[in-house]
Chains A and B, each alone.
Chain A
């Protein structure tokens, strides 16, 4: 018994010991488990956070069943988050690839594989699946990450495409493209490069770039820049072809690197700019020449202005005096004629200088209008009748009987040529005769070649001088200048004028016997009847009696004021002429009496405010867009006409003016602008009082587009119309100006902009015309009737502006 007790006690102690030990172990294990579970929890948390941030779908699997997913997974497959929990993973894969997928997931050898997945809606998409193991609940959980490959597939395809595109670009580029190694040997080269340098591919691959440099220094500099900047663009350099000709090129190069970022060579583009450089040099030279020519022209224009202004007074007043010759004694009449002759002579000289400068600058234009040949010839012989009589020589005109009368060409220039030759002939002939002969050399159906000759029995030209007689400033001897006067430009101009019309001037002469100047000109025959032709002679200009106009004369020179006023009053003494001494006074006067005047005669050069500024002010600030303004200018160059028209004047006349010309211009302007008559203004005012005016009142504009564009917002409409009224005349002027300048590129730009104006005014026909103008200006085609088209656009748009003004007034009244 005792023995049993002792045994039991021992057993008990042992048991107790092992229990305590077990307890200790248990405690240890529990801590361990806690730590483990804690880790697990953190891992899970990390997983969730991670998977949330990730664009990959991530799922945790247990025995092929999904136990946890991230949001991206729901997006990717179209299921709700909770729907995916407990789902069989095989559901994610398309039926065809299901077994392969399950097998791949189990395969310990595979970390990742690509497979076709299926969306809830049945769509399939390629995906890449990566497998991971992460600790989970004391064990290990299988995790798969699913990446949608659709986009990256697309990227790859695009990459492949761009690779092809790059290769096409490389091979088909017009620029030379090369790829070289670090030591400058060509590795790859395109066809354009081979063409440029004249090598074949075998020769060029492996060749060092140094061989292409005309100066090896250039390559050193290039390499320094490359080393510093890593790329070079538009580096200008002289390169050398296989045939040793040099080329001006620009070089753009970048460094090639491998994936480890090491430099493995260069690649670049070479562009041949030889031609471009040559053009650049030529352009600079041309610009320089043009600038000096324009300077010369400006100087001549200035000089002519200085002379013409007093000449205007002298000639104008002699004209006025001569019409009252009854009051003068014969001696006074003789003096008067003397003054007139001398001043007209002076004018011829000035005109010669101007014509010469125009010809030199290439700005002289030959007209092409119907004219009567007989009228020109009669005028010439008539002009010199008295002069010949004075010198007691015969002046004869011989014409062939079958001479056609109506021709197409430039009557003014033909007359100038003949006047020049006949005046020379008379000048150098002291006895005998001067004959003008005109005959037909050859006649076709549509055109005729005419021979004109001027024969004299004068002093003749020595043989050695015949060749230089047409040179500028040449007269037979310095003595001639003193004896006969003249600039020595006459024959040069005559010759140029003939050449510009397609003929040549020739001369035969014998000392002491006389000279014959002759030339042949080809003229198209005109269909027009003689009566229909606008007579360019001074005769019969007073057919129409000027109405009782009220004219505003703006002129600073007192003498010229008198000339203009008296000239006009001779036609109709009831015409009222108000005089302002400069533009500022004129603008003030017109501001006070906007409807008083039928037209304005405006000098261009004036103190305080010149004629151009005054006109702009009248058009834009006073809105007198229809008041006819005739410019009177002493500048007789081509540029002056453009400037006056551009400033908004309707026409111009050069001083000293020919009274007949002034008369015709006044008649034309007053007729051309019937809207300036007071009745019309009254009419317009009455109409504008009708506030409910329907659009049909407007004959030209169509406001529909404008209304639609502004959503019928009156404030916006007013703003738009104001802009249109301000811009349209400017834009029209600008088109005309660019046409005058023959600056087709600018005309294109201006027409392009003007299309929108036409659209806003609702003028589709005009828009179409402007579009054509734009295209023709761009291509420089159909330029012959461009002017008419511009004028049509102008007429219609100015008409439209008038209506817009009415609409503006109506809207403003409504607003008020």
Chain B
């Protein structure tokens, strides 16, 4: 299964972050990842029929468009459309309540934005992919 190309959707209202994450994920040596980027959760939802393996969601998505739905709302919809897709929530706010809510709504993990976000995110994604490979073998 080492040849499988994993599809990852990245949702963030900051283009710089998106470019960075896409670059990092697609240059991982161990897995082949194809990353698609979205500035709004709504756009990501439109393309859920492409069955992404993982969605990385920023909690705050309304810096550009005021009425954009937040990460939690998007998470709920992803989980209804595609319950098997693993969702990782990333957010700058160190708010336990949101973290709990996020996990309760079925997110795989909740990562707080700081200088170590990138490493942690890569770690979590590797963990998810390892789990998927195991499942296939079993």
> Which residues of A are at the interface with B, using a C-beta cutoff of 8 A?
705, 709-711, 713, 716, 719-720, 723-724, 727, 746, 749-750, 752-753, 755-757, 759-760
Contacts and interface: CB of A to CB of B under 8 A. Distances in A.
Interface in B1-50: 13-17, 19-20, 23-24, 27
A774 to B, nearest CB: 8
A709 B20 contact: yes
A719 B92 contact: no
Contacts of A750: 63
Contacts of A753: 13-14, 60, 63-64
B67 to A, nearest CB: 11
Contacts of B13: 753
Majority secondary structure of chain B interface residues (helix, strand, loop or mixed) = loop
A753 B93 CA distance: 12
B93 to A, nearest CB: 8
Contacts of B63: 749-750, 752-753
Given A711-B23, A749-B63, 20 more contacts: A705-B115, A709-B20, A709-B118, A710-B20, A716-B19, A720-B20, A723-B15, A723-B16, A723-B19, A727-B16, A746-B66, A752-B63, A752-B92, A753-B13, A753-B14, A753-B64, A755-B92, A755-B113, A756-B14, A757-B14
6 contacts: A709-B24, A713-B23, A719-B19, A727-B16, A752-B60, A756-B14
B62 interface: yes
Contact of B16 (A711, A746, A752, A760): A760
Contacts of A757: 14, 16
Given A710-B20, A716-B23, A755-B92, A749 B60 contact: yes
A760 B16 CA distance: 8
Interface of B: 13-17, 19-20, 23-24, 27, 60, 62-64, 66, 92, 113, 115, 118
A713 B22 CA distance: 14
B78 to A, nearest CB: 20
What does DSSP make chain A's interface, helix, strand, loop or mixed? helix
Q: Which among A724, A753, A755 has the highest number of chain B CB atoms within 10 Å?
A: A753
Contacts of B14: 753, 756-757
A716 B24 CA distance: 11
B68 to A, nearest CB: 9
Contacts of B24: 709
Contacts of A727: 15-16
Contacts of B15: 723, 727
A759 B15 CA distance: 14
Contacts of A710: 20, 23
A756 B23 contact: no
Nearest to B14: A756
Contacts of A756: 14, 16-17
Contacts of A759: 115
Contacts of B64: 753
Contacts of B62: 749
A746 B68 CA distance: 12
A752 B13 CA distance: 10
B19 to A, nearest CB: 6
B11 to A, nearest CB: 14
B134 to A, nearest CB: 14
Nearest to B17: A756
Interchain residue pairs A-B with the least CB separation, the first 5:
A753-B63, A756-B14, A749-B63, A709-B20, A749-B62
A74 to B, nearest CB: 15
B22 to A, nearest CB: 10
Nearest to B118: A709
